[in-house]
Structure 1
Amino acid sequence: METYGFLERPDGERLAWKRVDGQGPTIVWMGGFMSDMTGTKAQALADWAVAEGRSYVRFDYLGHGQSSGAFVDGTITRWRDDSLAVLDGLTSGDLVLVGSSMGGWLSCLVALVRPERVKAMVLIAPAPDFTEKLMSPEIPPEGWAALEAEGVWMRPSEYGDPYPIRRTLLEDGARWSILGGEPIPLEMPIRILQGGQDPDVPWRHALELAQAVKAEDVVFSLIKDGDHRLSRPQDLARLIATVAEVS
């Protein structure tokens, strides 16, 4: 059985969450940019957790899904803090973080703060440093002009209507860069599932993360015909098997 509620933040915002009480380390779903906890992968893991009696938590960041706040006000700093608030307020003991896209970056940032609790990570198309390395290079001149003049650019999307990107998101994201410097001091087992046909996170970007972490128990799985979402039945089966393996 899954319960749900809201976690109050100090500034009055509320984070929506759902939780399955069960055995083993708590599996925590860390969603992607503009995604929410009702997505196909998050729901598949919830169904598995209920069926197998496993402990599981999923939630929405500020401005996402059922949580309060405006998406445009979000930053990596804020969403990282939201994630830590959920871990500290809704879970205890060992954790397995399952991070999708931006959630892969946030999983790494959270694990750096709580390394004693995070026992493993499963990352799906992880997008560390995406604001600086993936998003900024694709902003057209008119986008930079809008960011300079108004502080916000409406970015076109293949998945729906254009959405707002605020200059503060890009500036803040640079503060949390983890690639291109010293080895990342993450030493827990890490599994990465990456689509070879992903238009949003190139597989070489995810591979760079796999090579940058200090951990030795790292497995990088390239699904050659997979897209960014990796939500086909075979992808979901692979995700669940991978989570089961490390937890």
Structure 2
Amino acid sequence: MSGILETPEGRRIAYDRIGGAGPGVVFLGGFRSDKEGTKALALEAWAKAAGRAFLRFDYSGHGSSSGDFLDGAIGDWFEDARAAILGLTEGPQVLVGSSMGGWISLLMARAHPEKVAGLVTVAAAPDFTEDGMWGGFSDDQRRALMEEGQVALPSDYSDEPYIITRRLIEEGRGRLVLRAPLSLPMPVRMLQGTADADVSVDVALRLLDHAEGGDMRLTLVKGADHRFSTPECLKLIEVSVKKVVERARHG
């Protein structure tokens, strides 16, 4: 079933969901991605075949949801995810967060641990606005961002550059998860490619070292890139989600 959810902040979020057994699975996409991506659709097909409840959605400014991408920031997209998860699912959910969605899934686990039965992250990019963007900007780029309100970065995925706004950077500083204790008392499986040019293995290792939890594993896939969408990678995501669902069901 497809629909539109109006969030408490007044944004209109496009979503697709299927009914099924719990715990359900929720896919959280990445920066400038949408709910029609390869991983989202592959996971939905798996959920249908398994009879498992499933939800995918577009953040505001992404895909079919309302808003302009350039107006958004991590906090807005976290609010969108929270509204979708709290409003469209029943009981605790297994969150599957890809890239930026990995960061947002960690924010959700921190804010609403009772709603998160487990986590699977794929090339998770926690704190990327601070560490990956601001931290990597030249003095000229930082100056342009502060004075002009935005800076353009080349994209490996589109002919159009990424426009990074001052608000994205500044608002993200209030959403960082690697600077304070991060308790993840649910089963967690982290997947990371060694050939990822956007999120390095060091980020995955830092998250593994930083987070606190009794059931946490990181799997490195040699040669996999940031898309993590080859048939082998998609199968690994499926297997990881199935394992986390089973562990969540049995406590």
- TM-score category (smaller protein): over 0.9
Q: Is the counterpart of residue 91 in structure 1 residue 106 in structure 2?
A: no
Match of 1:200 in 2: 198
Match of 1:242 in 2: 240
Match of 1:173 in 2: 172
2:163 aligned partner, one-letter code: P
2:85 aligned partner, one-letter code: L
Give distance in 2, aligned partners of 1:22 and 1:84.
Answer: 20
Across the two proteins, how many residue pairs are aligned to each other? 244
Q: Is the counterpart of residue 67 in structure 1 residue 100 in structure 2?
A: no
What's the offset of the Cα at 1:114?
1.3
Give distance in 2, aligned partners of 1:180 and 1:204.
Answer: 16
What's the offset of the Cα at 1:243?
0.4
Give the TM-score normalised by the residue count of structure 1.
0.95
Per-residue Cα deviation, 1:198-220 (whole angstroms, up to 9, x for no partner)? 11000111111111111121110
Residue segments in structure 1 that go unaligned for 5+ positions in a row: none
Of stretches 3-12 and 230-239 in structure 1, the one that deviates more from structure 2 is 3-12
1:124 aligned partner, one-letter code: V
Match of 1:39 in 2: 37
Match of 1:82 in 2: 80
- Counterpart selection for 1:100 from 74, 85, 98: 98
Per-residue Cα deviation, 1:72-121 (whole angstroms, up to 9, x for no partner)? 11111111111110011101102100000110010010111111121110
Look up the SS of the partner of 2:56 in the other structure.
strand
Residue segments in structure 2 that go unaligned for 5+ positions in a row: 246-251
Per-residue Cα deviation, 1:25-45 (whole angstroms, up to 9, x for no partner)? 110001111111111000000
Match of 2:249 in 1: none
Match of 1:49 in 2: 47
What's the offset of the Cα at 1:11?
4.5
Q: Is the 8 A contact 1:72 1:166 kept in 2?
A: yes
Of stretches 152-161 and 236-245 in structure 1, the one that deviates more from structure 2 is 152-161
Instruction: Map 1:103-182; keep pairs closer than 5 Å.
Output: 103-160=101-158, 161-181=160-180
Q: Is the counterpart of residue 189 in structure 1 residue 183 in structure 2?
A: no
Per-residue Cα deviation, 1:133-191 (whole angstroms, up to 9, x for no partner)? 1111222343223212220112211111102211011011111112144x312211100
Give the TM-score normalised by the residue count of structure 2.
0.94
Match of 1:28 in 2: 26
Match of 2:2 in 1: 4
Look up the SS of the partner of 2:26 in the other structure.
strand
Give distance in 1, aligned partners of 2:242 and 2:227.
Answer: 20
2:173 aligned partner, one-letter code: A
